A and B are shown apart, each in its own frame.
Chain A
Amino acid sequence: SSLTTSNLSDNKTNNKIRIETLESNYINNDLVNFKVENYGYSIGLRLGELLSFQINSNSLNLISKENNNLDILNIMKFICRDVWKKLYDKQMDNLRTNHRGTFVLIDSNFKDLTRMSSSKGINDTIIKCKPYVWFPCGIIRGILSSLDIDSTVNFEITKFPSVTFNVQTNISG
């Protein structure tokens, strides 16, 4: 793998540094994606525990009052608000659910991607930034796992740098 010159231009007026995307044979390599997802997962697992300590549990309401089960919708809100705020200094922009265990979380300006750019254009940028997005996917799966919820998380990037996370759980709520 090789890194093309980084920090290509520093536009002084808005102080935005654009990072040239990585040129590498490992882009879209399943093993790499798997590992990156795993980094995220192990962080999510620990972060989930840490945050449940740090954040006042009264305001969390992760457990539903009616039936004493985990309240999956509140857990998703917890990820969208508290976790995302902690990690990316902003909240998720949108949360949707079909009330049958599928959740769609949208970050319309995902921080890790905002500065990436490929000289070959936007389609190339999207292809090359994808390995990085497995990281937050892993974090989401890890957080859910720390609350004993199995899930699969994948993502779509249709309008860069907006990322749509699709979370599939086996719990309906």
Chain B
Amino acid sequence: MSKAVRTAADEIWKNRVEKINVELFTLTYGSVVSQLCRDLNNNYCEVNKQLEIMGENIGVRLIEDFLARTGAGRCNSFKETGEIISKVGFKIFLNIVPQVTNWTDNGKQFSLVFDENPLAEFVELPDDGKAVKELWYSNVLCGVLKGALQMVQLDVDVSFVSDVLRGHDQTEIKLRLIRYLKDEIPAGED
């Protein structure tokens, strides 16, 4: 199954996705983050929060685009969700395939490990001693994942564990399934 998914994702990336110049993308994200830092007086915890909110707003819309392009159906398990996020989601939107790893025994938590991160190309964190401890530069990704998964009835806690920008060995995002959301019926339609 995994191989078929990969080929399909490759095909979508090649033929069905409009591309944007990577430098423009990277620099645009960079100027968004730096403007946020200025606006919030280098309160990096608040910057993380804002980036996550921006990401959520992207994610809840992006999932529609994802479903339309891929025609993907419902995943049978959270394990499968992890594979699809990495091999299809990241592939068709960012052309990267992060490793899916560190599964817990109950199958409710895993990590995405990024060998490359197009958001963080050319980036150095501010040299104020604070940013390396507090700022999760690519935190928008957590928001995107959270927002997108929420729209397919998965309440997931998403957060950075480590980031090479901070001097860690690898860039890792942790996803923990909190619960499956029930399909909500709009009020007054019972």
Contact = CB atoms under 8 A, between A and B. Distances in A.
B28 A43 contact: yes
B41 interface: no
Interface of B: 21, 23-24, 27-28, 30-32, 34-35, 61, 64-65, 68, 122
B64 A43 contact: no
Interface in A1-49: 6-7, 10, 35, 38-39, 42-43, 46-47
Contact of B23 (A10, A39, A86, A89): A86
Contacts of A39: 28, 31-32, 35
Interface residues of A, number: 14
Contacts of A42: 27, 30-31, 34
B65 A7 contact: yes
A47 B68 contact: no
Given A6-B61, A7-B64, A86 B21 contact: yes
Nearest to A38: B35
A50 interface: yes
A47 B31 contact: no
5 smallest A-B Cβ distances: which pairs?
A: A43-B27, A42-B31, A39-B31, A87-B24, A46-B27
Contact of A86 (B24, B31, B64, B68): B24
A87 B122 CA distance: 18
Nearest to B27: A43
A1 to B, nearest CB: 11
A42 B64 CA distance: 32
